[in-house]
Chains A and B, each alone.
Chain A
């Protein structure tokens, strides 16, 4: 197995790990957002709570949760490791930074947008998963959601984090394809386009929840 570990520890191996975990998270977000659309059913949270119950009693939920947590952890730890190593590869900085002339802001800020997503993730897990699954402070998840999004500061920061998630995804989507070696004159422009659409859809989709509960949801 030493060849496998050595391959994954090479510069390209670390990239592949980033891309495999990144694409998995991209797929996870699609599922997560689709399910959450039940929030908009306008039935006082019946559909949403039923969906939450369904997930909660899914057989093998534990296994799915462990896999998801590991994918997140691998993505994050590997990202931080790459960031530290890549900083070390240029110990002396340039006096003039002209990176805006040769690359996009999305590509240069992956660690920054990623770190904000991480902070968001911690707060997000505390508010929903920890309260509902661990503390069991309220068995009506819909109520927790309504209460949480009532806070304009929380909702504002939530929306901001989703915009930055869009930044992360806009670079990440096409980057993962390039990492897998899928770069082709015919298909790459389409992948870039799809990535942009996907990131906008995710940012707008997730941000629509706080916006809805802050401005358009009038109680029952």
Chain B
């Protein structure tokens, strides 16, 4: 435990409501290097509340990198400068005394700011609703491991399923494209036998839903993969592209 405190200048986006004009507001803080980024924001909020000021609104839930609630853009990078972690896993020891840190909400037309750093990410849920599932018959509980699945295939599916739906891929992409998220959700089922019956319908429906939500188109800059806290691979996007045109060519859906 180090007791040398870091003096930092924070520039945090404050916006009273979705239609209000927002701006960056300066906060000078002293924090322990052992504090997490969100603990620092908690401390700022405590002192704001003490002074009868509005606390900064930001999202968090699990605070251990599994729920995907806590996306902040820190110095231009979603989830901050350290690869493969979420904002809640970021510790202040990665910053230097005297640093200026910009904290901004995810920016995308599909993710409107509701207040301060809180954005509306329901467009991701809308995409999940049209295909993020497999249909299974009711009845007796099937035996586990009844269907043989190669170890490496299961592992790839599992890697895709590691996506926590945080939206950092959208936030990092210069086109605010949701391709990495959608590709992970499509891939996790496309790789498994259980996902086959609905494979074509799923990819057609999810891409359609994605396009309807106002995300941009992928231009293969691969910024998403670099910023994704779960290391979701862009090879999933290649699979999504493949599945999409094979579905478009083969499916009987002509509308």
Contacts and interface: CB of A to CB of B under 8 A. Distances in A.
Interface in B19-41: 24
A12 interface: yes
B244 A12 contact: yes
A99 B223 contact: yes
B56 interface: no
A93 B76 CA distance: 10
A90 B77 CA distance: 15
B211 interface: yes
A13 to B, nearest CB: 8
Nearest to A14: B217
A2 interface: yes
A96 B218 CA distance: 21
Contacts of A110: 219
Contacts of A175: 219-220
Contact of A12 (B76, B221, B240): B240
Given A3-B254, A107-B221, A178 B234 contact: yes
A3 B24 CA distance: 46
B235 interface: yes
Interface stretch (A127-135, A155-163, A179-187): A179-187
Contacts of B223: 99, 102-103
A102 B244 contact: no
Interface string B153-174: 0000000000000000000101
Given A82-B219, A86-B175, A104-B221, A16 B245 contact: yes
A89 B177 contact: yes
A85 to B, nearest CB: 6
